Amino acid sequence: MDDIKSTLISLAIIAQGNSYSPYSKFPVGAAIVAANPTGGLQFFTGTNIENASYGLTICAERVAIFNAISSGYTKLLAMACVTEEGKGTSCGACRQVEYEFAPDMEIYFCNDLGMIVSEFTPRDLLPEAFSKENLDV
């Protein structure tokens, strides 16, 4: 897992460099590793993309997750998020999406030098989450 963790962090640092964050000036990069049905691993990245209409901004974590899901990879294993100085964790919307797809996935929050500052799972970050179990389907 150390090789995977290192790869995730390296990819998240690269993704952070692609951030479009002219308003917040807070570039974020994310990378996620997912398994395909035959057990092979695939990496996906995301970065925050801001918009002058702030509500249309999307976070790096959701971009990475949506890249994986839209490519047919639904078994999410781990994710790394990189910010300057390792500040912050996932926002509420990201926490809900993370919980939906992988409530026990390890998430490594890192600084832009690649040092892990904190580790959580979506279950840790969003206790008492709203999930499909709450729906009558």
List phi, psi (to 5°) of 42. Answer: -140, 140
Give yes or no for a contact between 98 and 107, defined as CB atoms under 8 angstroms apart: yes
Which tokens in the block code for residue 39?
């057990």
Q: Is 61 assigned a catalytic role?
A: yes
Please name which of 101, 104, 30, 27 lies closest in space to residue 60, comparing C-alpha atoms: 30
Catalytic-labelled residue, pool 61, 85, 106, 133: 61
Catalytic residues: 61
